[in-house]
Structure 1
């Protein structure tokens, strides 16, 4: 007999009541006052299988404990110049909010170089942004809009995407695995903009592999996506690379100072960095190594992200050297979803 969603939630909640106190503490840090919504996220990620969702959640809680994730917002990346280098090479930022109050995160997929620090630093920075989103940004949005807001939207800028991205697949796979297994169902929609030929070729391979619930979340927009995105957010919340129709323009060159949400000088990153420094124990902060990254174990699992990465790698090798692609292909876009 099939289990209804309410029965599944009840069963998983009952199982959670039986875990030890240490697991309950880190679970509380996760759910931020909305435990049932968190249970639903894990159930959705495992197609409403209570046993699979329970295992996924237990693995997540143990990963958090073993890697001190609850304390990661007390561990600044120092010195500031190192963190600035990370921000210049791992392009991500908060550009604003949708009309419904969901945070809008911008990601410079094509122009991120991941070449200013070790892999551990980029993983640490990514998790810190995840945790700051879940513990600070989303609760603040919930309070402002008077209803629970537990998800965000992401705008992925593919400007500059080349076959050299193969060198980034290792770190992207690590980040994807962490998100798949420990932060499931935190993104409502992925909007893909400024898509070159390389992305179009990969998307044709990747799309059939995605689960239906994931596939429905991805919308590939024409050009910079401005017209479509303005239906769900105000102009001020558009990422800077969506405010220009110049195809192929650099998302860094087209930015305007403080309007570049990737920059360490942007209010989001200033507030995030200050939050982490202010939460670091004063004595411990003074004793932190000047360039010692926090090592976080990447959980293992057969996730969509790892499967897709392998397929992308194979597809890119088949395409060959992008320097040989005809220039007319560099501006081709996949069909608008």
Structure 2
């Protein structure tokens, strides 16, 4: 949608954008930042990203990953509910090619729904995430070349089309093998992204608690949160077998997108399916 604006409205929009950027480092390469922003908008338009469905309380779509502690969505796990594509249920158990669509679907839900809730609770704009990746039990088997290439694809999408949405990424209990993999991955990342990543061994609790209040950090990572009111606790895992295995049925179609094709099609015309907020829209 294109909306004509007066000079006064444009100036107000710029002022609002600047207010949202308070606390961020100054942009030294303004030309590069503008190019990245325009590239993001073009990518979203060409791929119909604004039309991606996201789960909300009103539309009743099942979530694509477990969530805890938000205002507009009840605590819940990913289940093999009707409408979830079969690929999502496989991705949740294994690393497969469909992860690209799953990742975009999860990102859209995060920024349109979860970040909106976080901003309400914090009383300020929240648009960046802190990620903790626990490497416990990982070995060379998980670092085979197809998996590394998928990591490259995901990091490329995030850097180009979801810029400045990462606050911190902590890799805890990192095995010795990861040192060699990190040398490969590091070459794909923007220097600004590399600065946000910390690789930690088993002595990580102090670093995490510097960033995250103990009541929001799972107890097995050194915090006080247990989420014992819902199966699987803070981190339901089919690998750890603390939740039932999701078995795809007839209602979970074999398509590469995150939701069944009929739901993806509805997203093109139904505002409720797309959720209350769309990135880059007026």
Q: How far 1:168 moved relative to its partner?
A: 0.8
Describe the SS at the equivalent of 1:192: strand
Q: How far 1:236 moved relative to its partner?
A: 4.1
Cα distance in 2, alignment partners of residues 206 and 169 from structure 1: 8
Tell whether the 8 Å contact from 1:152 to 1:186 is kept in structure 2 after alignment.
yes
1:114 is aligned to 95
Cα distance in 2, alignment partners of residues 221 and 172 from structure 1: 19
2:254 is aligned to 291
RMSD: 4.0
Describe the SS at the equivalent of 2:52: helix
Tell whether the 8 Å contact from 2:86 to 2:252 is kept in structure 1 after alignment.
no
Cα distance in 2, alignment partners of residues 208 and 294 from structure 1: 29
Q: How far 1:67 moved relative to its partner?
A: 1.1
Cα distance in 2, alignment partners of residues 43 and 21 from structure 1: 31
Cα distance in 1, alignment partners of residues 51 and 196 from structure 2: 31
1:298 is aligned to none
Cα distance in 2, alignment partners of residues 80 and 209 from structure 1: 32
Match of 2:169 among 158, 172, 190: 190
Match runs of 1:261-280 below 5 Å:
261-263=235-237
Match runs of 1:1-337 below 5 Å:
21=2, 35-36=17-18, 48-73=28-53, 79-80=83-84, 82=86, 85-86=89-90, 88-89=92-93, 113-115=94-96, 119-120=97-98, 122-164=99-141, 165-166=143-144, 167-203=146-182, 212-223=191-202, 225-239=204-218, 242-243=221-222, 257-263=231-237, 290-294=253-257
1:321 is aligned to none
Q: How many residues align?
A: 205
Describe the SS at the equivalent of 1:231: helix
1:324 is aligned to none
Once the two structures are superposed, residues 209-261 of structure 1 have per-residue CA deviations (whole angstroms, 9 ceiling, x without a partner) of 865533331222231622332233233422465259xxxxxxxxxxx943153
Q: How far 1:129 moved relative to its partner?
A: 1.6
Question: Larger % of helix: which?
Answer: 1
Q: TM-score when scaled to structure 1? A: 0.50
Describe the SS at the equivalent of 1:197: coil
Q: TM-score when scaled to structure 2? A: 0.58
Cα distance in 1, alignment partners of residues 90 and 132 from structure 2: 20
Q: How far 1:68 moved relative to its partner?
A: 1.1
Gaps of 5+ in 1: 1-19, 25-30, 90-112, 245-255, 265-287, 296-337
Once the two structures are superposed, residues 96-142 of structure 1 have per-residue CA deviations (whole angstroms, 9 ceiling, x without a partner) of xxxxxxxxxxxxxxxxx314xxx23x222211221122111112211
Once the two structures are superposed, residues 20-78 of structure 1 have per-residue CA deviations (whole angstroms, 9 ceiling, x without a partner) of 828x9xxxxxx9x964478899997xx63233222222221111111111111259786
Tell whether the 8 Å contact from 2:134 to 2:171 is kept in structure 1 after alignment.
yes
Cα distance in 2, alignment partners of residues 41 and 123 from structure 1: 31
Judging changes above 3 Å, is the alpha-carbon distance between structure 1 residues 87 and 145 closer, same or farther for their aligned structure 2 residues?
A: same
